[in-house]
Structure 1
């Protein structure tokens, strides 16, 4: 396993970590015609409880 020969400086460490960025979750409208609330992709709708046209959870 590779082992660093010297300690990495704080500025180099922070410069490397500055590239670790996250993106905001993209929202889509619910497929339920009556709901159409914004929700994250591939997640059951928190408002109506439907996913892919089926009722999977109880509505909030």
Structure 2
């Protein structure tokens, strides 16, 4: 399965200190931009949605 990773919209364009996310059916993958060769962590859709919702609440 080929994944198309993207940087967070909160990351600065020139910064390499961030994570990248890719979405696929029923799963999301997260990897470190500086260490892409180490692979990614995979989360099921319910777990990823819970994380994103909690992160949005904590951000403001």
Same fold at TM > 0.5: no
Judging by fraction of residues, say which structure has more strand.
Answer: 2
Larger radius of gyration: 1
Q: Which has the higher contact order (CA 8 A, sep 6+)?
A: 2
Judging by fraction of residues, say which structure has more helix.
Answer: 2
TM-score (norm 2): 0.25
TM-score (norm 1): 0.25
